[in-house]
Amino acid sequence: MPGTVIVGTQWGDEGKGRFTDYLAKESALCVRYQGGHNAGHTLVVDGEVFALQLVPSGVLYPHVTPVIGNGVVIDPAVLLAEIDMLEAKHIDTSNLQISGNAHLIMPYHQELDRVTERFLGKNKLGTTKRGIGPAYADKALRVGIRVQDLLDPKIFREKLDLALREKNGVLAKVYNRLPLDADEICDTYLAMVPRLEPLIADTVHLVHDALDAGQHVLFEGAQATYLDLDHGTYPFVTSSNPVAGGVGTGAGVGPLAIDRVIGVAKAYVTRVGSGPFPTELFDGDDVGELLVERGAEFGTNTGRRRRPGWLDAVMLRHAVRLNTCTEIAMTKLDVLAALPEIKVCVAYLGEDGTRYEHVPYHQSVLHKVKPVYETLPGWKCEIDRVERFDDLPAEARDFVRFVQELAGVPITFIGVGPGREQTVVLPRAA
Ligand code: IMP
């Protein structure tokens, strides 16, 4: 079965979009399986920048059918704005397919995301405040409203009234906010139906038809392994399952539909929002500042500065296991070019001196571990025009081989710049 998954191996913002875009050219379908507009994928094609939140990166190829799977949570206004942005840039979006089973992000989800974060004070999660957590919570509580409900105004109104009865009570009585108006929400959402209706489809069917026909299907994860609700640094995680296993529920396929899992790892690590980060380089650290500046490490959507750190091979190795990665795509190697030396975390030391070669399951331990680094020489020259692995400086090749050894699977792609063409493909992937 020719299914490929692209999954982030860190805390997101690894640059998955550019590899999805790269691999989409050989695919018939490009399927998002989880998350919502908390994601931000920046693609640079012929110098033009595309910032995508919901639409799968494959949209940029006319032959690809972009699919938003049932595991995604959708703010329809954001989706339509994204479609308008793409159309204004002459990208045809007419073959976009949205699962009728995907859940809708409603205005009360966004409001609750904002007020609960405020309520948590110093314990806040640092969410994107897009309503992601509350929307997934309602899905699990079985009071969510789905895309297909938009097609039946009576059902939509009934479900909305039911939800608002509880949400407005919570907003008013717990958080001292004004209640939301059902008529207004109904009008806003139903007004979007004429544009959305032609895009709503049975996406499970589409995916299986493509797989049965031997066509290539690319499953595109948003966020990443350590933001996974089950396997990430809970509670500082998102509310869906970005790991490769999430494709099963989020797109409606079994594990045997997938034969390739590409874990995307940045040559260093960043994280936005709160939570443990063993290799973090704190504010004021010169290397940290350089990574943020050279890597333009600011959120695509929120503009938030990302927390920088050295590459963590302990986490990478664990991510390879969690996702059954068949290979690694390394991004932003060019960002390290200015550094005289480069560190890679190969193990952790616990507070009591215990050495960890794996990610300790207990969060209290993870919060306090100190990274054990190996230091490698830098190459101190720009590599953004390099096209072949053998043309990289010896120190850069050694760094890649070192990380590959620690990860336990081959590195098959290396990003040396933001452009679609700035990708070094290693022979093993050919
Ligand atoms: P939420 O997904 O908005 O609920 O946010 C939960 C956590 O996931 C926060 O720490 C966010 O910063 C983080 N997060 C969500 N989406 C992304 C992403 O696309 N890249 C990086 N971090 C993200």
d(CA 363, CA 347) in angstroms, rounded, equals 16
Q: Ligand 1 centre from 299 Cα, in Å?
A: 10
d(CA 297, CA 206) in angstroms, rounded, equals 36
Does ligand 1 have an atom closer than 6 angstroms to the CB of 240? Answer: no
Does ligand 1 have an atom closer than 6 angstroms to the CB of 10? Answer: no
Q: Ligand 1 centre from 117 Cα, in Å?
A: 13
- Neighbouring C-beta atoms of residue 94, cutoff 10 Å: 8
d(CA 412, CA 427) in angstroms, rounded, equals 7
Does ligand 1 have an atom closer than 6 angstroms to the CB of 299? Answer: no
Predicted confidence at residue 45, as pLDDT, reads 82
- Contact 119/135 with Cβ under 8 angstroms? no
Predicted confidence at residue 427, as pLDDT, reads 73
**DSSP letter string, 191-231:** HTHHHHGGGEE-HHHHHHHHHHTT--EEEE--S-GGG-TTT
**What residues are annotated to the active site?**
13, 41
Predicted confidence at residue 428, as pLDDT, reads 61
In ligand 1, the atom with minimum distance to the C-alpha of 128 is 3
Does ligand 1 have an atom closer than 6 angstroms to the CB of 13? Answer: yes
Predicted confidence at residue 1, as pLDDT, reads 62
Closest residue by Cα to atom 10, ligand 1, is: 273
Q: Ligand 1 centre from 154 Cα, in Å?
A: 34
pLDDT digits (tens, 9 = 90+) for 47-101: 888 889 999 989 999 999 999 999 999 999 999 999 999 999 999 999 999 999 9
Closest residue by Cα to atom 9, ligand 1, is: 127
Does ligand 1 have an atom closer than 6 angstroms to the CB of 239? Answer: yes
- Contact 145/160 with Cβ under 8 angstroms? yes
Q: Ligand 1 centre from 221 Cα, in Å?
A: 13
- Contact 114/86 with Cβ under 8 angstroms? no
Does ligand 1 have an atom closer than 6 angstroms to the CB of 135? Answer: no
In ligand 1, the atom with minimum distance to the C-alpha of 272 is 12
Q: Ligand 1 centre from 238 Cα, in Å?
A: 6
Choice from 238, 301, 304 to test ligand 1 binding pocket (greatest atom count within 8 A of CB)? 238
Does ligand 1 have an atom closer than 6 angstroms to the CB of 236? Answer: yes
Q: Ligand 1 centre from 2 Cα, in Å?
A: 30
d(CA 217, CA 367) in angstroms, rounded, equals 38
Which ranges of the chain have pLDDT less than 50?
A: 429-430
d(CA 197, CA 149) in angstroms, rounded, equals 11
Choice from 38, 72, 226 to test ligand 1 binding pocket (greatest atom count within 8 A of CB)? 38
Does ligand 1 have an atom closer than 6 angstroms to the CB of 224? Answer: no
- CA-to-CA dists, residue 147 to 72, 136, 244, 246, 304, angstroms: 11, 14, 24, 20, 30
Predicted confidence at residue 89, as pLDDT, reads 94
**DSSP alpha helices (H): ranges in 238-308?**
246-247, 286-294
Does ligand 1 have an atom closer than 6 angstroms to the CB of 116? Answer: no
Does ligand 1 have an atom closer than 6 angstroms to the CB of 69? Answer: no
pLDDT digits (tens, 9 = 90+) for 322-346: 999 999 999 999 999 989 999 999 9
